[in-house]
Structure 1
């Protein structure tokens, strides 16, 4: 099985992929790609892919949500790993830093450090390992925020550990197949699974007052837990939004989940993204 992830090797996505394989007792060939689009396109019919979906400090990854919204995918699991960062620089002091390479999502997790470098140019990269490579081939005044694990593998004149806004910092990754999910009945999970999660997109036909209140009432009446709520533009009409929702519950509530989604689909456009165990 081919497992497509953001690369190169050594990224947090790489670590998340290996953790997922270990905890699910699966084997796969890790297939690295530079962008979210390339990860999605590389997923084979019999393969799986992994993308970051949420960071504890910086919130949801909109690029992933937009991909889930626009493509036919089935989410089959998730995995969460601790993340932290260090600062490395081709400089002898913070005041000598002229440029900082930082991955687009890492930037939001290290705002305290970046605000202390008001004269440095912030250059966004596609991955944390690209930031490492940019610094390795950089020039005096260059700096990079890199995974803490890379600090012991590299040597630069200036190095500072643990520069994220807080040490307690995790990123959640979603694992998916490139196939559509339906509202089919009789969803089953492994016998050992006690809890499930079901991510969906719900799109109302209009922006009438009370629409979101109405949507939220469905899982409430079924005593299903609403774990996540995010809004994304449909890109079809100004003011019409699609809502990304994660519903969780016990396996004893799977029939309630099915009935709830079916009922919602009579009023709204419901795009299910799978049901998986926690």
Structure 2
């Protein structure tokens, strides 16, 4: 099975794909690398899967993924969380000599302490961490890059500094999905009642009247369902009108209650489900 991922090989997305492949050897997964989020999504075949980063422990949610999910007809099948850390490599022998530094757009927010100590360096944003490394390898004296820590042992530059993320226990969560609309109907299954689930969705109220978010959350609270995440994104229809990205968790003993509650919400709001899967 083809799994579309953000490439090239060696990225943290690639590492997440390897974890997922090891969990599901029966799928015989072959990674299919693409340089952008849109290309990853667009390349997912009807009989294939996609994998995109959703949330980083230090820098929060990946806006590009949320914006895609907001309108995409996808069904999330699960998630993978992998540890991430970074090293600094440079074509100089002193950090004060760094003139420009290549850094992936999401990595930048995870290495703020390091970048604050390089005020003289121009930050060049890249699409992936391995692209940062490639640009450094093809670059000039004065160039530097923040790259995956896993790549550091194989590098040979005058300046190498390990573990430059703001925290050592950093991690990123990825979602696995297929291009098929998710259902508002409870799926069949034989999971144990104590098995945990997650149900991600977008909920868009018809108006922006005061108290609408409280009303949305009251549905979940009254049902005893756990709100894991809530994020607001503009609908792009009008300033002040927002859609709420929500993740709900619980146990399979609550499955019927969950879908009954979501059905009630769908009668009052636009509910865009993104899947229902075991954790």
TM over 0.5, yes or no? yes
CA distance in 2, matches of 1:35, 1:98: 27
Match of 2:8 in 1: 8
Does structure 2 conserve the Cα–Cα contact (< 8 Å) formed by 1:189 and 1:276? Answer: no
Match of 1:260 in 2: 261
CA distance in 1, matches of 2:41, 2:193: 30
CA distance in 1, matches of 2:45, 2:190: 24
User: Residue 123 of structure 1: CA displacement?
Assistant: 0.2
Match of 1:106 in 2: 107
Does structure 2 conserve the Cα–Cα contact (< 8 Å) formed by 1:186 and 1:255? Answer: no
- Aligned residue pair count: 278
Written as runs of structure 1 = structure 2, the 5 A alignment for 1:182-261 is 182-188=183-189, 190-191=191-192, 194-261=195-262
Does structure 2 conserve the Cα–Cα contact (< 8 Å) formed by 1:84 and 1:147? Answer: yes
CA distance in 2, matches of 1:13, 1:132: 15
Range moving further from structure 2, 108-117 or 193-202: 193-202
User: Residue 24 of structure 1: CA displacement?
Assistant: 3.1
User: Residue 130 of structure 1: CA displacement?
Assistant: 0.2
CA distance in 2, matches of 1:180, 1:138: 44
Unaligned runs of 5+ in 2: none
Written as runs of structure 1 = structure 2, the 5 A alignment for 1:117-132 is 117-132=118-133
Provide, for residues 187-246 of structure 1, a one-character-per-residue CA deviation record: whole Å limited to 9, x for no partner: 436459701000000000111101111111111111110000000000011100000000
CA distance in 1, matches of 2:191, 2:93: 55
Unaligned runs of 5+ in 1: none
Does structure 1 conserve the Cα–Cα contact (< 8 Å) formed by 2:191 and 2:252? Answer: no
State the secondary structure of the residue aligned to 1:88.
Answer: strand
Written as runs of structure 1 = structure 2, the 5 A alignment for 1:1-278 is 1-25=1-25, 26-188=27-189, 190-191=191-192, 194-278=195-279
Q: 1:28 to 1:192 in 2, by over 3 A?
A: farther
CA distance in 1, matches of 2:217, 2:188: 22
CA distance in 1, matches of 2:20, 2:194: 16
User: Residue 181 of structure 1: CA displacement?
Assistant: 1.0
RMSD: 1.2
CA distance in 1, matches of 2:43, 2:192: 32
Does structure 2 conserve the Cα–Cα contact (< 8 Å) formed by 1:94 and 1:117? Answer: yes
User: Residue 22 of structure 1: CA displacement?
Assistant: 1.1
Provide, for residues 91-137 of structure 1, a one-character-per-residue CA deviation record: whole Å limited to 9, x for no partner: 11010000000000000000000000001000000000000100011
Does structure 1 conserve the Cα–Cα contact (< 8 Å) formed by 2:223 and 2:257? Answer: yes
Q: Hey, which bits of structure 1, 4+ residues long, moved more than 6 A?
A: none
CA distance in 1, matches of 2:72, 2:256: 26
TM-score (norm 2): 0.97
TM-score (norm 1): 0.98
Does structure 1 conserve the Cα–Cα contact (< 8 Å) formed by 2:11 and 2:129? Answer: yes
